[in-house]
Amino acid sequence: MTLPIAVCVSGRGSNLQALIDAIEQRRLDARIVLVACSRAGVPALDRAARAGIPSGVFPVTKATRSEAQAAMGQAIKGSGARLVVLAGYDRILADAFWDALGEVPVINIHPSLLPAFGGLNGMKVHQAVVAAGATESGATVHRAYRGKLDEGEILVQRRVPVSPRDTPETLADRVLAAEHDALVQAVGLFVPAAAS
Ligand code: GAR
């Protein structure tokens, strides 16, 4: 049975694209019913438009976070999504979001082997991994909950070796490929089994 999902994004949207591609290629039995974005004019919105997916921009500033995210939660609830995917959504979610969303489960992708290097975003994660001299990094998809950052049951993890020659940029490229795979697999865990 096809799973309706909402995807929350903030920028480039390559994880969103991985989901779009997997759905188009029938590797994932899901339908993206809404792309919700924290910024106007970002590539993720172009990706949604090219795929014919409805999108909404809920711009977040310090002053408007609660209102904007409440509106985002309401829009997601109204879209009929049965799963929310945080795919590069770079803002902490206010209580008003969770209140509006209700019981819909939320998952998040993070570019490290959580719990290692949690609490950071995007390239800052890879900079910290390289600076720490870690020999391994990776991608994690986990359940996300009210008031928690990069915590929640781990659903899928992919390991990526770090070489002494890696820069944050070269590491980010390899981890990103692992993220795309891990995210498709994790969303697949929520697809209801077809009735027999
Ligand atoms: C991804 O690497 C994602 O894991 C990361 O932001 C990037 C978004 O890329 N998210 C976090 O760091 C969350 N803490 P994308 O817009 O191309 O999918």
Please report whether residue 94 resides in a domain.
yes
The CATH number of residue 145's host domain is 3.40.50.170
Note the pLDDT of residue 62: 80
Note the pLDDT of residue 196: 59
Model confidence at 61, pLDDT cuts 50, 70, 90, reads confident
* Distance between CA atoms of residues 38 and 118, nearest Å: 21
pLDDT digits (tens, 9 = 90+) for 23-52: 999 999 999 999 999 999 999 999 999 999
Percent residues over pLDDT 70 in the chain: 99
pLDDT digits (tens, 9 = 90+) for 77-91: 999 999 999 999 999
Note the pLDDT of residue 95: 97
Nearest atom of ligand 1 to the alpha carbon of 17: 18
- Closest listed residue to residue 35, CA positions, set 60, 61, 15, 63: 15
pLDDT digits (tens, 9 = 90+) for 115-159: 999 999 999 999 999 999 999 999 999 999 999 999 999 999 999
Ligand 1 pocket: which of 90, 120, 155, 171 to mutate (most atoms within 8 A of CB)? 90
Note the pLDDT of residue 194: 75
Please report whether residue 124 resides in a domain.
no
CA of 110 to the centre of ligand 1 (A): 6
Note the pLDDT of residue 66: 94
Please report whether residue 49 resides in a domain.
yes
The residues lining ligand 1, judged by C-beta closer than 6 Å to any ligand atom, are 9, 11-15, 87-88, 109-111, 121-122, 125, 176, 179
CA of 120 to the centre of ligand 1 (A): 10
Directed axis angle between helix 14-24 and helix 43-50, to 10°?
Answer: 10
Please report whether residue 97 resides in a domain.
yes
Question: In Å, what is the CA distance from 21 to each residue of 26, 87, 165, 172?
Answer: 8, 15, 32, 21
Please report whether residue 38 resides in a domain.
yes
Containing domain of residue 105, as a range? 3-115+139-157+179-188
Number of domains into which the chain is organized: 1
pTM of the entire structure? 0.97
Ligand 1 pocket: which of 32, 93, 109, 114 to mutate (most atoms within 8 A of CB)? 109
* Distance between CA atoms of residues 185 and 180, nearest Å: 9
Note the pLDDT of residue 195: 67
